[in-house]
């Protein structure tokens, strides 16, 4: 015998509404104006912060990485391919547009020694931590 759980029913309804809104948003914005979120991992290691961003399908020249106001900014733009005349798509789901991620960084990052590399659709940014000496504060 199944017990009625109103919270489970509300959760299912919320999921259905969320999917419906996502579908509506996907088709209401022209492809050229779409912005996509790229999955990001931010890993705090002992001597550095490592940021890993999935950017499949982008060329290295389409990606820009910079520091702005203490944040790491990753932008990537993929232009839409020219559609060939006479080509009949049965389904077209590949997306085009821009990826923009802004990641807050700890204040102890050495901006002069940041390194980035892009391989197989994955951008990895290494942000070395600054070595600051501890200063004892005298208590009055």
Cut 0.75: pTM above it: no
| Domain at 76, CATH number | 2.60.40.790
Residue 67 within any structural domain of the chain: yes
* pLDDT tens track, the chain, 140 positions: 667 777 788 888 888 888 887 776 655 555 444 556 789 999 988 889 999 999 988 899 999 999 988 889 999 988 766 555 556 777 766 667 788 899 988 778 888 899 999 999 999 999 998 877 677 888 98
Q: Positive or negative CA dihedral for 71, 77, 44, 127?
A: negative
Residue 70 within any structural domain of the chain: yes
Residue 124 within any structural domain of the chain: yes
The confidence score (pLDDT) of residue 5 equals 75
Residue 114 within any structural domain of the chain: yes
The confidence score (pLDDT) of residue 32 equals 45
Q: In total, how many domains does the chain have?
A: 1
Residue 117 within any structural domain of the chain: yes
In 63-134, which ranges are E strands?
63-68, 71-78, 97-104, 115-119, 122-128
Residue 99, classified by CB atoms within 10 Å of its CB into exposed (0-12), middle (13-18) or buried (19+), is buried
Residue 135 within any structural domain of the chain: no
Q: Domain residues for 74? A: 34-80+95-128
Residue 113 within any structural domain of the chain: yes
């Amino acid at each position: 015998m199944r017990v009625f759980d109103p919270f489970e029913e509300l959760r299912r309804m919320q999921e259905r509404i969320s999917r419906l809104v996502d579908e509506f948003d996907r088709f209401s914005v022209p492809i050229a104006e779409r912005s996509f979120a790229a999955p990001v991992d931010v890993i705090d290691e002992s001597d550095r912060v490592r940021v890993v961003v999935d950017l499949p399908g982008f060329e290295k020249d389409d990606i820009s990485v910079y520091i702005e106001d203490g944040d790491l900014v990753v932008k990537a733009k993929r232009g839409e391919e020219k559609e060939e005349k006479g080509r009949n798509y049965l389904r077209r789901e590949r997306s085009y547009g821009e990826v923009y991620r802004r990641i807050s960084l700890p204040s102890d990052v050495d901006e002069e020694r940041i390194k980035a590399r892009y391989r197989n659709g994955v951008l990895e940014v290494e942000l070395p931590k600054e070595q600051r000496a501890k200063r004892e504060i005298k208590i009055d």
